[in-house]
Amino acid sequence: MKINEVKVDAYKWEIPDMPWIGDVPALKEPGIGYMVRVLTDEGIEGDCTIPGSVIGVSESVARLRDLVVGQDPLNREKIWQTMIRVERHREYHVAVIGAVDVALWDLGGKIANLPVYKLMGGYRDKVLAYATSLMHGTAEEYIEEALDCKARGYTGYKVHPLGDYKVNIELFKAVRKAVGDDMNLMMDACGAYNHETAMKVGRVLEELNYYWYQNPLLDHDIDGYAQLARALDIPIAGTERLPGSCNTISEYIRKRAVDIVRGDVRFKGGITPLKKMATLAEAFGMNIEIHTTMNPLMNVANLHVLCSIQNSNFHELLQPEDKQLYAVEPWEHIDQEGYIHVPQKPGLGLEIDWGYISKHPADAKC
């Protein structure tokens, strides 16, 4: 079996406006989704979605095509190593590398008639999920969402806070008071603080018994992260947006600059490097907590990785869940105990609405 084509179908898909944080302007996502498709000469294909916010998908796929076509689709490691090596020279988007890699795992599962997590070596078939917010304008909106999530069975909720750290502190107190002590609360600052304000916020989060403190500083500030990790008892989570795929987290682990590493198949370049990250973290007695990708096939790929490892506790579900389907069957829902179950069909295990995609083409088609 050989890969005989790599293509991308662009199609219209509207999602809500995306408010953001501090002085970062609000983002209106393009009304578009991408389906990256890896086809073989035996008629089996693997697929992966990419959200419209990723720039240059069609151009990146065109540049990758000559590296992938003609390869054995089961040689995923060889193909990924080639793509990540050549990226230095061709500068295609790492999310597209990730989509091709995820599509190859989807293809491999279909060939083997196994779900992807079983192909990697299954550890479990479900994991606890936590709900994660967008940025809201008022504390009342966060509280309303957190209480709704708790009522629906979520055992955890993560706050993406407002801009000013003093406003943030009051927000964190208000959410904890509203949900009580029996719900896990996390916080992701998206790199909004400097060293002084990050420490002040961290002290408050410790008092409020937040589960982890995520991305308080910009990703490159390894010494700042190390200082925080030494000074605070609350676990520090970071590394999700570091460039360089799985290879750049080693120094953060060596310096104990974070207590929890972060990554996902979109920002790190696929299932292949995310699994490497998890193994490296495990070797140092650390957890990896996997970041949502805001699109369905990459999100379910994250879940397959989670169900193949033991050193991770949660699957992240961005709220509201039903706005990120991109013409793929709904699947991100939890059971009565707050668990999300990994699909059991071959490959990634989700059905794609090809009829919708063909009837709603967008301009950017490769």
Residues 242 and 280 in one domain: yes
pLDDT of residue 22: 57
Of the pLDDT bands very low, low, confident and very high (cuts 50, 70, 90), residue 366 is: very low
Of the pLDDT bands very low, low, confident and very high (cuts 50, 70, 90), residue 19 is: low
Residues 238 and 323 in one domain: yes
* Residue 96 clears pLDDT 70, i.e. is over it: yes
Encode pLDDT of 229-252 as tens digits: 999 999 999 999 887 778 889 999
Residues 128 and 93 in one domain: no
* Residue 149 clears pLDDT 60, i.e. is over it: yes
Q: Is the residue at 9 inside a domain?
A: yes
Q: Is the residue at 365 inside a domain?
A: no
Residues 110 and 124 in one domain: no
Dihedrals φ, ψ of 186, to 5°? -125, 165
pLDDT of residue 363: 78
Encode pLDDT of 339-365 as tens digits: 999 999 999 999 999 999 999 999 764
Domain at 183, CATH number: 3.20.20.120
Encode pLDDT of 278-335 as tens digits: 999 999 999 999 999 989 999 999 999 999 999 999 999 999 887 778 899 999 999 9
Residues 181 and 259 in one domain: yes
Q: Is the residue at 347 inside a domain?
A: no
Residues 14 and 151 in one domain: no
Q: Is the residue at 202 inside a domain?
A: yes
Q: Is the residue at 346 inside a domain?
A: no
Q: Is the residue at 314 inside a domain?
A: yes
Mean pLDDT of the chain, nearest integer: 93
pLDDT of residue 344: 98
- Domain count of the fold of the chain: 2
Q: Is the residue at 190 inside a domain?
A: yes
Residues 156 and 25 in one domain: no
Share of the chain above pLDDT 70, in %: 95
Full 3-state SS string of the chain: CCEEEEEEEEEECCCCCECCCCCCCCECCCCEEEEEEEEECCCCEEEEEEECCCCCHHHHHHHHHHHHCCCCCCCHHHHHHHHHHHHHHHCCCHHHHHHHHHHHHHHHHHHHCCEHHHHHCCCCCEEEEEEECCCCCCHHHHHHHHHHHHHCCCCEEEECCCCCHHHHHHHHHHHHHHHCCCCEEEEECCCCCCHHHHHHHHHHHHHCCCCEEECCCCCCCHHHHHHHHHHCCCCEEECCCCCCHHHHHHHHHHCCCCCEEEECHHHHCCHHHHHHHHHHHHHCCCEEEECCCCCHHHHHHHHHHHCCCCCCCEEEEECCHHHCCCCECCCCCCCCCCEEECCCCCECCCCECHHHHHHCECCCCC
Per the model's pLDDT, the better-predicted residue between 289 and 86 turns out to be 289
* Residue 21 clears pLDDT 60, i.e. is over it: no
* Residue 17 clears pLDDT 80, i.e. is over it: no
Residues 67 and 167 in one domain: no
Q: What is the domain range of residue 336?
A: 118-341
pLDDT of residue 54: 87
Residues 124 and 106 in one domain: no
Domain at 71, CATH number: 3.30.390.10
Residues 128 and 22 in one domain: no
Residues 162 and 291 in one domain: yes
Residues 197 and 313 in one domain: yes
Encode pLDDT of 97-130 as tens digits: 999 999 999 999 999 999 999 999 999 999 999 9
Q: Which of 157-161, 242-246, 261-265, 329-333 has the lowest mean pLDDT?
A: 242-246
pLDDT of residue 26: 65
Q: Is the residue at 7 inside a domain?
A: yes
Of the pLDDT bands very low, low, confident and very high (cuts 50, 70, 90), residue 29 is: low
